Structure 1
């Protein structure tokens, strides 16, 4: 590291960000890390509400170097982020959205975590303010993990600390052709290429702020863009991970988070033409990537809907979506001495529908909530065999000692 190289470059893409930008920049100024260790690159993406002027005012008084770039509107967050990335000098980069804010110790903690563990990506705990935030990956702080053995695949927003050398080595940039899900593509690639990922769960590093006007990028755009996003992410995963269990583990994310909502309650409001088009857009994705390995990792109602999409059975999907939207509880059927639990959603054991029982078979994590269920099957058999072998070995050791 040279004497003048900052530890971290904070890249802020801003469009019509007032008044949220005020607190955003205040959170940067309040960072406990030494101001000489950071730089800020702020890109005003054609704002007309005073965003650019406020950024320049901040640059004039901030304790750390701040570069302000003003450009015509690019239409999305990818362009400004790429501009900032091309100018970054820090050993790490952090992408901060202009309507969000950092916890005071965020950058100091994340840089220290990366340095201590030699990891290429650091996730800092995210908390929602007037909007939801991902939760499943914040169970505990983890010095080193990867995308296969943790829940980090369920937070693919760009608000992470990335080692810049990793990004430059692989020429990684945000895909400006995508109008939604561009950050998921970038972050998943970083996870897959990273030499380790760290998770900070015991301190809120990032506050994801809900705007009063509801203008969140994740909520904008038509349904076809969601299929574009799912396709891009699935293709990326397939490019980096051979078919099998590890790929299936990752494919759960685009199927569950991006594709399935298109066949949820909003599907009931869609016209016939939109419904038909959704099935058309889904067909090549399910043909290529919907597997039994993905299916068994989902809850029954999730698996059932996606199975019907994969089978191109729209006439069967509608009553299932209506059942789920009404929050009805399916009948639970225990078989095999309580070791198999079937959830009788619509079409269960309906000869005309012809769906196999396994579509309705609850995975252990879902079945445990039902009285009378006894966890069984191959996994339990193997556990019993291991316990028996340990007892035999222990008995032999006792006899040998005697």
Structure 2
């Protein structure tokens, strides 16, 4: 008798995961989805703290099918996830970190969402326990969306539901050469290739747990690994998208989330050698991918810092960072009938610095926080300007007239 295909394979890559693994596995066992519809593939990546034994005990008593694979340490999360993905048989696959946990209805709700809409990726609402999860994409449940029409680009972790046949068809796997950011590469490629993405925002599907032992790679990774991650993600976007607005809107993510933090308050604490190395690592990324289309989508202080990195001006960058560290507020400067707002961070208007004013120009969303700038004022000015342009164009289009005022044939 043929065994029915499970609805979802839960892949758990585990390394030194005790005691967090106990609650992780309990959350799998507590799923409201029928146990026969769940398959678990757990990979012990060379642990020495009892992780492997805990997984085997779970496999012996769990009501769903559980396969435990024990292997030598691979050095990162990509290897175990790829092993689990290769062994998976479910229609969908979900990557669960061994120190996190699922909401009881998580798998049932996400599979139902994917089946209802035919989407290839489903995001379930995430809450943090001693960690700060991404928040901007959980405003409302979305039956069907994409990476350009929503904020899902700001959650590129692997803890999502993926249609397995879709991953196989496009040969999407985790990059085992990356020590951090490997899930961002995997998930962004899935977003871009997916026939639709769904968002479950009205139920907490995933609990992101902060470890007290500090073993999260995202916390402990060297700054050089961050640049490796940014380089890989930017290269993926370059390969999959032509230059233009769509690429620019996604390029914001690696610049804002991965590159910019290296040139924040930590830069002031870095010694001169590390500062110089960071500038050198950033240079090829700025040369290849930093442009006005990306810059205009950032806040002034973000744009200014990255522009100074692009110009290789650490001296000016330090001035800006000291200004921000002191919690100083930039002076707002209104121009053009109050329709343009400039924020006078350090070196605004300085001839010696040679920075164009456009770097300091606040975009409408940022400008709206300042009482001297009003959206309706800016729109009125823009409408008036557009009317002047149309009138001038109509004059150019009028047919020439003969003497006496009649139009020429």
d(CA) in 2 for partners of 1:96 and 1:383? 52
Q: Which residue of 2 aligns with 1:395?
A: none
- How does 1:248-287 map onto structure 2 within 5 Å? 248-287=248-287
What CA distance in whole angstroms lies between the structure 2 residues aligned with 1:378 and 1:121? 40
Alignment correspondent of 1:392: none
Is 2:128–2:208's contact at 8 Å kept on the other side of the alignment? yes
Task: Name the counterpart of 2:163.
Answer: 163
Moved over 3 A (4+): 376-386
- Give the RMSD, CA atoms, in angstroms: 1.7
Question: Could you say what secondary structure the match of 2:60 adopts?
Answer: helix
Partners of 2:138 and 2:118 in 1: how far apart?
A: 20
Number of the residue aligned with 1:318: 318
Secondary structure at the residue paired with 1:294? helix
- The reply on whether 1:349 has 2:349 as its aligned counterpart is yes
Residue pairs, 1:294-373, within 5 angstroms: 294-373=294-373
2: CA distance between counterparts of 1:332 and 1:240? Answer: 40
What runs of 5+ residues in structure 1 fail to find an aligned partner?
387-402
Alignment partner, residue 18 of structure 2: 18
What is the count of residue pairs matched by the alignment? Answer: 386
Q: Which runs of 5+ in 2 are unaligned?
A: 387-409
Alpha-carbon spacing, 1:311–1:86, altered in 2? closer, same or farther (3 Å): same
Match of 2:181 in 1: 181
TM-score, normalised to structure 2, is: 0.92
The equivalent residue for 2:43 is 43
Are 1:30 and 2:30 counterparts? Answer: yes
> Residue 162 of structure 1: SS of its match in structure 2?
strand
2:375 aligned counterpart, secondary structure: coil
Checking the alignment, whether the CA contact within 8 Å between 2:127 and 2:206 is kept in structure 1 is yes
Residue equivalent to 2:391:
none
Question: Are the aligned partners of 1:339 and 1:376 in contact in 2 as well (CA < 8 Å)?
Answer: no
Whole-Å separation in 2 of the counterparts to 1:171 and 1:383:
50
How far apart are the structure 1 equivalents of 2:170 and 2:381?
Answer: 45
Instruction: Give, in angstroms, the shift of residue 372 of structure 1.
Output: 2.0
Q: Deviations over 1:81-138 (max 9, x none)?
A: 0000010000100000000000000000000000000000000000010010000000
Structure 2 vs 1, CA of residues 380 and 295 (structure 1 numbering), >3 Å: closer, same or farther?
A: farther
CA distance in 2, matches of 1:359, 1:352: 16
Instruction: Return closer, same or farther for 1:239/1:348 CA change in 2, 3 Å cut-off.
Output: same
Of 213-222 and 192-201, more deviation after overlay is shown by: 213-222
CA distance in 1 between partners of 2:116 and 2:217 (Å): 34
| Residue matched to 2:105 | 105
How far 1:375 sits from its partner (Å)?
2.1
State the secondary structure of the residue aligned to 1:247. helix
Task: Return the alpha-carbon distance in structure 2 between the equivalents of residues 205 and 192 of structure 1.
Answer: 23
The 8 Å contact of residues 8 and 93 in structure 1, kept in 2 or not, is answered as yes
- 8 Å CA contact retained: 1:264, 1:325: no
